[in-house]
Each structure stands twice: as structure tokens, then as C-alpha cells.
Amino acid sequence: MMPAPEKATEIKAAIAAVLAFFTALWGWLGWAVLVWIFCFLLDYLSGTAAARKAGEWSSSIAREGVWHKLGEIFAVLVAALCDIALKIVVSSGLDLGFELPTLITPIVLLWYIITELGSIAENAEKMGAPVPRWIKNGLKQYREKIDRDHGDTEPPETDAGTN
């Protein structure tokens, strides 16, 4: 039988190999998608828990939350398709004078991640957990900065009502 420290090292090495494989496969953008999906699911679960705690859970509101999340998926897919279309145009010979990286998808993902984190913090408060004001304010300011920097002039709605 293998000693525990050696087994732990073996497990860590296996995890590192798997993470390296997936990073090589899909790069940092794939990890951003995974963070968004994790936040997406955590928001839905925390919203459900907060609503249940308050005695306000409703299947119709939960269904609306599912539709809302489905809309997020479509918005991210639209961003990815815009990036793909831009790359096709550039690869067809149009010289923009600069390298065109994946541009729109990361911004949309970051906006959704920040939005989800803000909603999760709100849900945690509704469940009775103290959430530092600087976290809530920081997330709000960061989301507003993304909106300002990328032309969104209307303040986005919160995601808290999608239990």
C-alpha cells in the first residue's frame, strides 16, 4: 500500500495533468466559460435557497429564472458567433492593421460573471449571511465600468429576482 503523502502527491499530479490538458485544449477562454457556468449555477441555487428561506419560492418564478439563464446562454453564444464572424472577415484578406483576438466573448463573459457574483452576494444576504459592503460596492462599480467602457448606457437590471 502506498503511503498517504505519496498518494496525495500522485493525486495532485493527476489533477495538474488534467488541468494542463484542458488549458491546452481550450485556453483561458474555456476557463472563463467554466467560471461563468459555475457562477450561473451558484446564482440559481442561492436564489432558490434565499426564496425558500423567505417562504417565497414559486415554481413560476423558478421557471422564469430558468428562462433568464437560457437567455444568458444565447447572449454568450451571440458574442462567440460575432467573434467567429469577425475572424472569418479578417482571415478573408481584410487588413485591419492589427491582430484581432477573441474580443467580444470575454467582455460578455466578464459582464455576466460580475453580474452573477453580485446576485450571489445579494442572495447570501437574503439568507442572513453578512456580506462586506466593499464586495457589493466593488462588484457594482466594476460592472458599471464595463458598461461605460463598452457603450452600455442603461444600468443593467439585477439578477436577484430569478429564483
pLDDT (0 to 100) of residue 45? 95
Lookup: cell for 143: 460592472
pLDDT (0 to 100) of residue 28? 83
pLDDT (0 to 100) of residue 27? 82
pLDDT (0 to 100) of residue 91? 77
DSSP annotation string for the chain: ---HHHHHHHHHHHHHHHHHHHHHHHHHHHHHHHHHHHHHHHHHHHHHHHHHHTT---HHHHHHHHHHHHHHHHHHHHHHHHHHHHHHHHHTT---SS---S-HHHHHHHHHHHHHHHHHHHHHHHTT----HHHHHHHHHHHHHHHHHTT--SPPPPSTT--
Instruction: Tell whether the model's pLDDT for residue 162 goes beyond 60.
Output: no
Instruction: Tell whether the model's pLDDT for residue 49 goes beyond 50.
Output: yes
Average pLDDT of the chain?
Answer: 85
Mean pLDDT (whole number) for 2-31? 84
Residue at 112: amino acid letter? Y
Nearest to 80 by CA among 130, 23, 32: 32
Q: Please report which confidence band the pLDDT of residue 7 belongs to, taking 50, 70 and 90 as the band edges.
A: confident
pLDDT (0 to 100) of residue 42? 96
Question: In this predicted structure, which of 36-45, 84-93, 147-156 has the lowest mean pLDDT?
Answer: 147-156
Q: Dump pLDDT digits (tens) for 104-149.
A: 899 999 999 999 999 999 999 999 999 999 998 888 888 888 888 8
pLDDT (0 to 100) of residue 163? 44
CB atoms within 10 A of CB 37: 17
Question: In this predicted structure, which of 27-36, 39-48, 131-140, 146-155 has the lowest mean pLDDT?
Answer: 146-155
Domain boundaries, the chain: 27-149
